[in-house]
Amino acid sequence: MDLKTLPKVELHCHLEGCFRLETAREVGRTLGLDVPHEIDAFRREWLITEPMDNLATALKKFDNIQAMWSSPELIQRLTLEACEYAEQQGIRILELRYSPNFIAGGNPKLDFESVHRHILAGLEMASDLDLAVGLIGIVQKILPDKEAEYTTDFIVENKDTFVGIDLADQDIGFEIRRFAPMLDSARAAGLHVTIHSGEERVPEAPQHVRMAIEELGAERIGHGIHIIEDPEVIEFVKERRVLFEVCPTSNWLTNAVSSTAAHPIRRLLDLGVRVSINSDDPGLFDIDLCHEYQLLQAEHDFDEGAFNHCNDLAASHSFLASDAKQAVWPRPIPEIA
């Protein structure tokens, strides 16, 4: 089995964290940032390659990355390179999610509209690749209501160029209920909903996932791995046919699991939970999607059949239009059942 050419679907990839290491070093120097010359020092200071204390600590590493998205030219370049990376990984269906607040917030000369316009230009530059790409707009859970509503409204106003909306960032537990009206407006506009939930090791994690699905209408869950601790929630997500966007190395680096070998992805799959395989922030984590496949093959006995099963599930649950997906997928995409 050639893992690199195996057709893949990636549903959970943050555009801001999907960059080439050499591009980050070049752009960082151009912008006058402190970029270590030695590659090992660069990895230590700019990237996340060892477990952080927790998710909040990991998120602080994004400061230098935010600075990279500082001009229309860089936005277009980074978007194009993310698509080129995907094709090189054997990805045929790609969903890239990004936070307008994150990019524009670190760059005063940019606003939401200009950021989005230049991301779309970068996607257009990649249109000759054998790749179907969709964008998901992120609303950060840490935003105050007024800012979150503004971001949601922007995503809804651009519903023709987004396929979905995501609630991301550090878990705030049951307080996430405050986003329900915003998600209702996005859903009414025809956008799909995925929510980061159940990633952190807290006792309430399985119930957070259940609430995200039952009360907020999540069709997919980002991470969600700690449902493994609650058999009732496992049965619930199976009945609701919810797909989990699982990111093994990311979960280790944010201390959601003690090791990649201890990750519950195989147990979830064997229990009948729908899972897809994702990299989350491949540039920031100094990995790629094939690395995740190699890891699952070595530590969790994934074979070609298991990979194909996860990818067919991911293709079925992708928010892209059916015809766009099927045009690049090598076999019939099953209906969600």
Q: Tell me, what CATH number does 65's domain have? A: 3.20.20.140
Q: Tell me the whole-structure pTM to 2 decimals.
A: 0.96
Domain range for 223: 8-326
Which residue type sits at 220?
R
Q: Give the tokens for residue 2.
A: 């050639």
Report in angstroms the alpha-carbon separations of 305 from 2, 80, 273, 311.
13, 31, 16, 10
Inform me whether the pLDDT recorded for 297 exceeds 70.
yes
Judge whether 126 lies within some domain.
yes
For residue 116, tell me if it sits in a domain.
Answer: yes
Number of domains in the chain: 1
Q: How far apart are CA 22 and CA 38, in angstroms?
A: 12
Strands 164-168 and 132-140: parallel
Q: Is the Cβ–Cβ distance between 18 and 289 less than 8 Å? A: no
Residue 1 — very low, low, confident or very high, per pLDDT cuts 50/70/90?
confident
Closest by CA position to 35, among listed 48, 25, 43, 49: 25
Q: Which of 207, 214, 299, 216 is nearest to 251 (CA)?
A: 299
pLDDT single digits (tens) 191-206: 999 999 999 999 999 9
Identify the weakest region by mean pLDDT among 98-102, 106-110, 297-301. 106-110
- CA dist., res. 114 & res. 30, Å (int): 22
- In this prediction, residues 290-300 reach a mean pLDDT of 98
Q: Is 2 contained in some domain? A: no
| Cβ neighbours around 30 below 10 Å, total | 12
Task: Determine, yes or no, domain membership for 50.
Answer: yes
- pLDDT of residue 255 exceeding 70: yes
Residue at 336: amino acid letter: I
| 3 domain-assigned | no
Q: Is the pLDDT of residue 260 over 80?
A: yes
What is d(CA 42, CA 39) in angstroms, rounded to the nearest whole number?
A: 5
In a domain, 301, yes or no: yes
- The whole-number pLDDT of residue 157 equals 98
Cα–Cα distance between 75 and 209 in angstroms, integer?
Answer: 33
Task: Give the span between the Cα atoms of 235 and 224, in whole angstroms.
Answer: 14
192-197 vs 220-223, strand pairing mode: parallel
- What kind and span of H or E run contains 27? helix 21-30
Let me know if residue 220 belongs to a domain. yes
Query: How is residue 257 annotated by DSSP?
Result: S
pLDDT band at residue 28 using 50, 70 and 90 as cut-offs: very high
Q: Summarize pLDDT for 224-246 with one digit per residue, the tens.
A: 999 999 999 999 999 999 999 99
Lowest-pLDDT choice from 19-28, 58-67, 78-87, 231-240: 58-67
Residue 57: pLDDT band with limits 50, 70, 90 = low
Let me know the angle formed at the C-alpha of 132 by 269 and 80, rounded to the nearest 5 degrees. Answer: 110
Q: Are 135 and 163 in contact (CB under 8 A)?
A: yes
Q: How many angstroms separate the CA atoms of 159 and 28, rounded? A: 33
Q: For position 63, what pLDDT does the model report?
A: 82
Q: Does residue 1 fall inside a structural domain?
A: no
Decide if pLDDT at 59 tops 90.
no
**Other beta carbons less than 10 A from residue 334's beta carbon:** 10
What is the rounded distance in angstroms from the CA atom of residue 76 to the CA atom of residue 73?
5
Coil, strand or helix at 75 = helix
d(CA 131, CA 123): 10
